Amino acid sequence: MVTFLTSRFVASAALAVVWVLCRPVLADSASFRWDLDPDQELRVRWSQTVRTEIRGEKSVAWTVRAAIEMRWRVEAVDQDGTLHMSQHFTRLILRMSPAEGPDVDYDSKADQEPPLELRELAAAMPPLLDRRFSVAMSPLGRFHSVQDDPASHSTEDTQPANEPWTSFLTPDGWERAFRPSLGLLPDGPVQPGDQWHHQETVQTPQGPLRAEHTYRYEGTVEVDGGPLQVIRGLTEATAGPPPGAFDKPQPPDQRQTAIYHFNADAGYLVQSDLVQTIVSDVPDSDPPLRVTIQGRLRTRIEPWK
């Protein structure tokens, strides 16, 4: 009898040890969902730095920095978790460090015209600043609909009719614009080390570009005293089929790495950091030219205060 009880005690103790050892891994299982409440508001900030260098007989380089801010407000939440939000751009800041001469700046909040060097870039934003869009987003962060809110602008302030804006103000356009910074969430729970993939073909002026997106869940880390779930992303893009004799040159191969910090308790992405490098040779140039573009995109999301 004593032997039997002792054996049961040892077995129970062994099971308890195994449970304790396994618990950190099981506890790190995560389900990623955008889970916000009606009337909740978020401040979304993007800051991007792009350095372009052209190497030939002489080398020239310049850097452009841009910061964009948006305000998201949850208007309603469906039973399936679909978020109906009002989103609008509130601010644009630009800075250019040219190859020669001093830096030039532009802030849409300032009462000033953009400098000549930034006029073309700055001209793209006024049609969007303070214009509100009604957006439906799934719990996985995928956009179902994007509609311009006519009440957010005057009748004279009409929507641009050119193709880039027309294609941007669609679910696919919104997805292409925001997916790099928001990432692609997995359909179900994942354990550290689990991966998921997404493929797409993007049409560019130089031809089709095939992109392979790979995401990997890394586990939970402590940031500012709270747990955040870490996802790493890798995007590898390759050119489409070889062009014909009179086709435009193919785009260069590209590679992009990303790290996402998601707050599963709060129900939204807190921050992301992306790094991209593109190296290409200019065809038929004499002397040969090589263009290197290095970009970094940082996204920060926090409650609107």
Tell me, what's the pLDDT at 248?
56
Instruction: Please name the helix (run of DSSP H) or strand (run of DSSP E) that holds residue 290, with its range, or none.
Output: strand 289-303
Pick 189 or 7 by higher pLDDT: 189
118 contacts 137 by C-beta, under 8 angstroms:
no
Q: What is the DSSP string of 202-221?
A: EEETTEEEEEEEEEEEEEEE
Higher pLDDT, 29 or 94: 94
- Which DSSP state fits 140? T
Please check whether residue 114 lies inside any domain of the structure.
yes
pLDDT at 244: 56
> For residue 211, what are the domain limits?
31-303
In which band, very low, low, confident or very high, does the pLDDT at 206 lie, cut at 50, 70 and 90? low
Other CB atoms within 10 Å distance of the CB of residue 172: 12
Q: Is residue 117 part of a domain?
A: yes
> Strand 59-77 to strand 83-97: parallel, antiparallel, or no bridges (unpaired)?
antiparallel
Q: Is the peptide bond before 160 cis (omega within 30 degrees of 0)?
A: no
Is the per-residue pLDDT at 177 higher than 50? Answer: yes
Has residue 286 been placed in a domain?
yes
Task: Decide: 145 and 178 in contact? Cβ < 8 Å.
Answer: no
Number of folded domains that form the chain = 1
| CATH code, domain with 271 | 2.30.230
DSSP 8-state code for residue 118: G
Q: Is there a domain that residue 93 lies in?
A: yes
* Gap between the Cα atoms of 179 and 258, Å rounded: 11
Does residue 10 fall inside a structural domain? no
pTM: 0.79
19 in any annotated domain: no
The whole-chain average pLDDT of the chain stands at: 80
Spacing of C-alpha 267 from chain mean position: 17
109-146: pLDDT as tens digits: 887 888 887 877 777 676 677 788 899 999 999 999 99
pLDDT at 276 over 70: yes
